[in-house]
Amino acid sequence: MSHAAGLAGIAIDVDSVATHLAGYGVHDCADTSSSYQIAIPRALALLEGLGAKATFFLVAAEASREPDAVRRIVAAGHEVGCHSMTHTLPFDVSTPEAAHRELLEARDLLGSLAGEPVEGFRAPSWGVARGLLEGLRAAGYRYDASAFPSWMLALVRLAVARRGAPDAPAPKTHLADLLLARAAPHALRDPRGDLAEVPVSTVPLLRVPCYHTLGLLLPPWAFRALLAGVRLRRGSLSYTLHAADFLDTDADGLDPRIRRHPGMDLPLARKLPVVKDALAALGRGRSLVPLRTIAREVLAR
């Protein structure tokens, strides 16, 4: 087993085309299958070619309609994580009813589909809602991967709030909290149950997140510099992609309104090399593993 300094956790958030468009206030799209029937097989093939393992964070209500895809993920040696039951925005588990459905019922459903316990959770759009950690402990999770310890989270939350409901206020984000938040994977010790936190990795000092969406927005030289910068961080890394990074709007016959989403105006022939290059860079000197591998190591310290 590699030591923590040699690990890079890979996560793929599997949000359907319908879920992405709902985030933009478009609620009449019915495409929940492309991410499972097209993107996941492509992702599995690419990961196999690189000798990499990953965590696939699934929205339980969508995954329940695609049991074969869930079984393929597990059969290939990857991890199934929970990305909530419904991916509602803003994400809210402040009531017992919401916490039970979005955390516990979702975990149980995904566990039954995967045939193994679900250990990790990631909140939709990095929404670390009030009561989340308490709910995760109560539901039996071993780690959370919702932390985004970067000043850029304020911009992400503002964009999410405005694109879905232009008149709605963005969730409050305290810059000081983001800049002081622990950037490395760590344990959250508590008498009610220990959790590991596996945050998205950031460039040391600058707190710029190493997040695949930026690879579709930045010039290639700038993204290569970002990857080089995050590799300077000691210890384990965490890198996030989306199922959409493996989809082609035109060739896959997707709802054309998805073009507004980052990278969905690009052909797959341009997108897949960005994924391969990023993972190859992260894999220099580190093993590419599911997030649970890092979480287990953190909790065993």
pLDDT band at 1 (very low <50, low <70, confident <90, very high): very low
What confidence score (pLDDT) does residue 2 get?
Answer: 39
The average pLDDT across 200-214 equals 94
The answer, as to whether pTM is greater than 0.85, is yes
The average pLDDT across 98-125 equals 97
Instruction: Measure CA 34 to chain center.
Output: 18
CB-based contact 285:242 (threshold 8 Å): no
What confidence score (pLDDT) does residue 151 get?
Answer: 87
Environment class of residue 268 by beta-carbon count within 10 Å: exposed (0-12), middle (13-18) or buried (19+)? middle
The average pLDDT across 217-226 equals 96
Give me the amino acid identity at 68.
Answer: D
β-bridge pairing 143-144 and 120-121: parallel
CB-based contact 24:37 (threshold 8 Å): no
CB-based contact 258:17 (threshold 8 Å): yes
What confidence score (pLDDT) does residue 83 get?
Answer: 98
pLDDT digits (tens, 9 = 90+) for 47-76: 999 999 999 999 999 999 999 999 999 999
CA distance 45 to 52: 10
The average pLDDT across 224-240 equals 96
What confidence score (pLDDT) does residue 162 get?
Answer: 62
What confidence score (pLDDT) does residue 164 get?
Answer: 54
**Structural domains of the chain, count:** 1
What confidence score (pLDDT) does residue 3 get?
Answer: 39
Statement: residue 4 has pLDDT above 50 = no
What confidence score (pLDDT) does residue 90 get?
Answer: 83
CA distance 207 to 10: 19
Statement: residue 94 has pLDDT above 50 = yes
What confidence score (pLDDT) does residue 127 get?
Answer: 78
What confidence score (pLDDT) does residue 155 get?
Answer: 77
Q: What is the CATH number of the domain that holds 115?
A: 3.20.20.370
CB-based contact 150:199 (threshold 8 Å): no
* Helices 40-50 & 67-75 angle (0-180, nearest 10): 0
- Across the chain, what does the average pLDDT equal? 91
The average pLDDT across 2-25 equals 87
What confidence score (pLDDT) does residue 176 get?
Answer: 55
The range of the structural domain enclosing residue 25 comes to 4-300
pLDDT digits (tens, 9 = 90+) for 245-293: 999 999 999 999 999 999 999 999 999 999 999 999 999 999 999 999 9
Statement: residue 105 has pLDDT above 50 = yes
pLDDT band at 165 (very low <50, low <70, confident <90, very high): low
Statement: residue 129 has pLDDT above 90 = no
The average pLDDT across 233-241 equals 96
Per-residue tokens: 228: 């080089």
Statement: residue 5 has pLDDT above 70 = no
CB-based contact 272:216 (threshold 8 Å): no
What confidence score (pLDDT) does residue 173 get?
Answer: 59
CA distance 249 to 24: 17
What confidence score (pLDDT) does residue 154 get?
Answer: 77
What confidence score (pLDDT) does residue 135 get?
Answer: 95
